[in-house]
Chains A and B, each alone.
Chain A
Amino acid sequence: MTPLAKLLEAALFAAPRPIPLTALEALDQESSPAAVAAALDELREHYDVDGHGVELVEQGGGWQILTRAEFAEAIERAQVAVRPHKLSAAALETLAIVAYRQPIGRAEIEEIRGVAVGSVLKSLHERNLIDIVGRSEGIGRPLLYGTTPQFLEQFALRHLEELPRADELAIALRGAGNTAVVPE
């Protein structure tokens, strides 16, 4: 491996969270962004081709070294690491709405889900998956929520744009007010 690839490996190993590309590029003043990109490729290939228990992944707004999925069960059985808890269906629904409509207030989420979401929002906030990103100009200036980098990380997303656009989903909505209902 080149010295730059080794340097990246060391930084990625030491980091508790995904490291953004800009931070990786700042590791070595001498190296160009292109060189860093090449070194990342080199490192990824190193793990893939030589057969390692870990792999290099890009997600959560940066790069991270993760154990390979095939070892998950054994690792868990030996109680070396514990899988994060699964989110409830209600929490996932709320999270999906926040991810697509952010910044979004509570009332709007409740309108879409048809249920009160106060406690769900609280638990998502506690798990650092959503955060308060501002206040609406509306009556009472309600809080607005958005997703966090932790959300990207937990759902293996590089960035928010990786989510399919709304009109790419199987059920595409037409503009508000223009419903698809055909009068009898």
Chain B
Amino acid sequence: MIAPNFRPLEAETSSFVIELSQFTGPLDLLLSLIRDEQLDIYDIPIARIAEQFLARISTLGLDEAADYLEMAARLLRIKAQMLLPRADGEESWEDPRAELVRRLLEYQQMREVVDLLERRGEERRHQFPRRFIPIAADITPLNAPLSLSLGELLAAVDRVLRTTKEPKIHEVVPRALDVAGAMVTVRAVLAMRRHAQWTDLVGRDAEPWQILSVLLALLEMAKMGELRIAQSRAFASVEIRRDAISEAA
């Protein structure tokens, strides 16, 4: 297929991928050949162009070359038609290249538009609009509601209960301290005698909340200056007496 006058392509075509990315299609390749050879688009030496075209596509892989092969076939048919003898003065002779030329011109015109779009697009790519990030419309909806029968639900509850241990229940009874009540008791005791012992205020069988109430009542009354708490030595019994100052006041 390759003509003897075929000019070998330079190193640039060593790789098929590079070659393919160079042209966007058979018309692009054809135009570039015409341009390289400085040919008149209206009077294409079809035999020469066809040979060069074939040489170029021979470097392409078969799959990707389908469009190119179709064009090659077209060129060869035109070449054959050009070789057919025609009668002198035949009016109705139509140049077999006419359709190809029309397509090439149309393609060239489209390329002109491409240049224009490329220019405009490049300019625009240098300008940024304000970026609009829409707020997510809604929280992603929850999964679809469960659908199960009462029996399934009870069975599930049963399974859960069987795996859990019997719970231990602690009953905590709240019992508030009665500081005010304890203060009344302390005052009553001190009204009868000038001083008292801790054991005079707290009975033997007192509950913890009663002991705490008396202790807090004593501290509170000492703070208010109603009584004084004294201890002669460490671990000696605590002596409680009415405060002389508050008594005087």
Contact = CB atoms under 8 A, between A and B. Distances in A.
Interface of A: 13, 15-17, 57, 59, 64-69, 72, 75, 80-81, 83-84, 86-87, 89-90, 92-93, 95-97, 99-100, 111-116, 153-157, 163-164, 166, 169-173, 176, 179-184
Interface string B36-59: 000000110000000000000000
Interface size class of chain B, counting residues whose CB lies under 8 Å from the partner chain: 35 or more
Interface string B82-101: 00000000000111011101
28 contacts: A17-B129, A65-B130, A66-B128, A72-B128, A80-B128, A86-B125, A90-B25, A92-B114, A93-B25, A96-B111, A96-B113, A99-B117, A112-B110, A114-B26, A114-B71, A114-B107, A115-B24, A115-B26, A116-B67, A156-B123, A163-B116, A166-B109, A169-B112, A171-B105, A173-B102, A173-B109, A179-B101, A180-B101
A66 B27 contact: no
B103 interface: yes
A113 to B, nearest CB: 5
A97 B110 contact: yes
Contacts of A183: 93-95
Residue among B98, B109, B110, B111 with max Cβ neighbours from chain A (10 Å): B110
Given A171-B109, A183-B95, A57 B24 contact: no
A163 B112 CA distance: 11
A153 to B, nearest CB: 8
A163 B125 CA distance: 18
A96 B27 contact: no
A161 to B, nearest CB: 14
A44 B220 CA distance: 80
Contacts of A83: 125-126
A182 B43 contact: yes
B108 interface: yes
Nearest to A100: B113
B230 to A, nearest CB: 79
B167 interface: no
A69 B123 CA distance: 8
Interface string B62-79: 000001000100000000
A67 B109 contact: no
* Interface of chain A, main secondary structure: loop
Given A72-B128, A93-B111, A114-B103, 14 more contacts: A17-B132, A66-B128, A87-B121, A96-B114, A99-B113, A112-B103, A113-B107, A115-B67, A163-B116, A164-B116, A176-B102, A179-B101, A180-B101, A183-B94
Contact of A67 (B120, B121, B123, B127): B127
Nearest to A82: B128
B123 A112 contact: no
The 4 closest A-B pairs by CB, nearest first: A16-B132, A72-B126, A69-B126, A115-B25
A75 B125 CA distance: 12
A90 B64 CA distance: 14
A75 B105 contact: no
B110 A67 contact: no
A89 B130 CA distance: 28
B7 interface: no
Interface in B120-172: 120-121, 123-132
Contacts of A170: 112
A67 B107 contact: no
A67 B99 CA distance: 47
Contacts of B123: 69, 156
